[in-house]
Amino acid sequence: MANTDTEIGLRLKISRKAAGFKTALDFANKMQIPKSTYSQHETGKRSLTPEQIIYYATKLDIEPSWLLTGVGHPCPLGKNKAERKDEIDREITKLQELNELPHFKNYQIEISDNSAVVNMELFSKIITSAIKAITSKNLKIQADELVAFCIDAYNNIEFLVTSHDEKNKIIDLSINSMLRGNHIILEKKINL
């Protein structure tokens, strides 16, 4: 397993490529950093200072905490960023299989967290579907129970390696389970 500087360097390299800079030289030129300094940051020969981590994270639009530790989401999530995140994830998986980067558990959110990085697109889809289902069927569910269920559904769906369509179908299954659990008979069963 690589040391910390090498691991940070590998994440920096992955992010640089995902941001569209094919070579280290392209990025160094664009940022007006000496090429040798930047190369040493990528190879882990030179340690990054906290200021440099924040600088690179800002320029490459990634999370500084992820660049430093590898835990959590690599980049701020949102529309038009799914492709970049997928590319980063693919590269990380490759390096993990080669044992060059460590494996971390899937980052899950908890109701007791003070703060968390959340895929808001997915979370709001789950919450919206749940509220729609409740109002359409006139269900009475405790608010805290609903939030806890939505967080669980989010944690169960976020890290599934599958297509967006299948994820959407699984969201429907989870939300429908709430209706079934409250004795609402569904019109049709969803087939995947």
Q: Which residues bind another protein (CB under 8 A)?
A: 103, 105-106, 108, 149, 152-153, 155-157, 159-162, 170, 173-174, 176-178, 180-182, 192
CB 54 within 8 A of CB 80: no
Q: Which residues contact 149 (CB under 8 A, 6 or more apart)?
A: 130, 178
Smallest gap from Cβ 156 to another protein, in A, equals 4
Least distance from C-beta 92 to another protein, angstroms?
Answer: 13
Shortest separation between residue 145's beta carbon and another protein, angstroms: 9
Cβ nearer to another protein, comparing 52 with 119: 119
In angstroms, the CA 190 to CA 172 distance is 8
Smallest distance, Å, CB 126 to another protein? 11
Written as one letter, the residue type at 10 is: L
Instruction: Decide if 88 contacts 15 (C-beta within 8 A).
Output: yes
Nearer to another protein, 78 or 181 (CB): 181
Opening angle at CA 78, ends 59 and 164, nearest 5: 130
Helix (H, G, I), strand (E, B) or coil at 129: helix
Closest to another protein by CB, 40 vs 176, is 176
Q: Which is nearer to another protein, 72 or 181 (CB)?
A: 181
- In angstroms, the CA 133 to CA 153 distance is 15
Q: How far is the CB of 177 from another protein (least distance, A)?
A: 4
Instruction: Report the alpha-carbon distance of residue 171 to residue 165 in Å, rounded.
Output: 10
Instruction: Name which of 24 and 130 has its Cβ closer to another protein.
Output: 130
